[in-house]
Amino acid sequence: MIPFNQLAKAGYNRVIRRAWVSKIKREFNKSLVRPVIVSFRDGKYWVIDGQHTSQALYELNGYDPNTLIECDVRTGLTYEDEARLFVKYNNSSHSIGKVDEVKGLIESQDPDAVAFLNIVTKHGYNLGDDNSSLAAISNAWSIFNNSDGMTTLDSILKITRACWPDDTKATQAKIIEGLEEFLRRHGDEYSFDHFVKMLRKSKTQEIIDSAKPYYDRTPKRYKWPYCVYTEIVTRYNYGLSKKQQLPIMPLDS
Q: Report the pLDDT value the prediction gives residue 134, as an integer from 0 to 100.
A: 87
pLDDT value of position 45: 95
Q: Give me the pLDDT at residue 116, please.
A: 94
Q: Which domains does the chain have, with CATH numbers?
A: 2-96 (3.90.1530.10), 111-236 (no CATH)
For the stretch 50-72, pLDDT in tens is 888 999 999 999 999 999 999 99
What per-residue confidence (pLDDT) applies to 197? 96
235, 241, 244, 250: CA torsion to nearest 10: 50
Mean pLDDT lowest among 9-13, 15-19, 81-85, 140-144: 15-19
At 178-230, the pLDDT tens digits run 999 999 999 999 999 999 999 999 999 999 999 887 776 656 555 889 899 99
Mean pLDDT value across residues 6-28: 83
Three-state DSSP state, 61: coil
Residue 53 CB partners (closer than 8 Å, separation 6+): 24, 33, 34, 36
- Give me the mean pLDDT over the 89-110 stretch: 73
**DSSP H/E element including 80:** helix 79-93
pTM of the model: 0.67
